[in-house]
Structure 1
Amino acid sequence: MKKFKILYIFIFSSVFIACENDDFEPVKSSYTQTEEVQIGFSDNNNGAIVLEDGGQVSFDVFLSKALPSQGVVELEVVSSDGSIESNGVRELEYSETIIIPEGATTVPVELTFFDDTVSDGGETYTVKIKNFTTVETLTSFYIVSTADVTKKERNVQVYDVLPEIVETTVGDVQIELTWRDSSRDMDLGLFIGTEFDLNNLVDASTGVTTTEVVELPLAESDNLFSVYVDQYLFTAAVDYLITFTFPDGQELEYSGTINEDSFLFHFTKSTDGDNVTYLITEL
């Protein structure tokens, strides 16, 4: 799996011509009153979380009014790097065109994901409606993107291993690394994003004991963060324990073995008023 991919939804089209954005004047007959029909997603499945290997998710595409002719919806999935393949392997399967039958207002869209054999935590996919056409020319209707921003796109979060979901209150989050072998010196770093970039370093602990602690402060904005462990001047297998402690006292513990300098976790922070949700993925 590639790094987090963001796929965007744009809605194109009228019955008469495809357009590149919503800011267009509908084509109207000079003799016939035309009626606006909106297209978008009507389900409540935005932000679904699924496994990469065989994970499935479905959405509903809707028309705000049934049409007297069959309609064809063109779907597209894009990524931040412009590809939905890894090492020549397609990462998901979906129908690029779906039919809305005459007189119908809703049709399901299904996506199935495949293991790309790359261990990289998680990816975010966004589905978009690329275009809509009707089999017959309709002079009484024109099609536009829904005005409701919550219905314009659908995101799917796909993981190698499903993340831990922690719902807590606002406040600092403490991350503690411990190990038994006192002859080994390891350091702990917390970064914004998924790359080792000192410009994005949030906190670091570089002591000489078998305990290192970093904190994600309350003031840090919602983002994707990564936990990095550095084996200082050595490379060897070391058993470790990492503990996440949240503002309301909740704790998550992970044990494992680290063999070289590496990222061990990715996690996201999402704030809603006084409530904060963390999605923690062990790499």
Structure 2
Amino acid sequence: MKASARLVVERDSAGRSVVRELRSMSPLTLVPRRSLLANATGPALVHLVSSATAPLGGDDLELSVLVGPGAHLRLHGVAATLALPGHRPGGSRMTLHLQVADGGRLEYLPEPTVVTARADHHAELCADLAGDARLRCREVLVLGRSGERPGRLRSDIRLTRDGDPLLRQRLDVGDPTLDSTPAHLAGHRVLATELLVWGADPAEPVSGDWWSLAPLARGGSLATVLADDTVAADRMLRTALAAHPGLDKAEAGTADGVTRVAGIA
């Protein structure tokens, strides 16, 4: 299956963040939530729904998101993603293109991705920010369902601001020997990260047991958590985000997507 979807959010003359373009293609279905207040100035809220079983081996999925000047978008997932093997040879791929203009804010908060047995999935995030744009992106990876050995997943992140690179990162999971080493996942089943370009950054790295929050060299910061289940990952991610000076308490407390899928752990 090959599918592409597109979402554009802009700020209107009344200061509201409104959806200007929304194009879905199964399994990438975008569902906007309409505000009950005619003069609402909060973020535009859109849910990303998987309307078919995906990604399967052989799938090539692409989602493009554009946030205009001064607009604010919160893009949520509604259920965990299962990376599954397919009937055809080859792996699956999901590419996410994010572009945020001056003064724009984008929060991409999907539910966890479960790397099931024999899956071979490649997740790619490409984000391009204007100078004062804000971005927060979460990724939660679960290595296999309960009692199941995981398949393989490669995650690539490429983040730029005004064309200058802020982060280039590649992560490979699913190799039992590598995943068990202290230099990689140390035998943990859940890896949660949150990428933040959101106001002030921490002056120095901060960390606790199996979590850290580290500033990036040219702006932004990265929270990383290793845990044995999604409930613990959620709690530790909240702790890491609470140490971020650019997030207020309400924003740091929005890391609630993990707990709703605790049953898969």
**Higher alpha-carbon Rg:** 1
Per the TM superposition, whether the score is higher than 0.5 is: no
The structure with the largest helix share of the pair is: 2
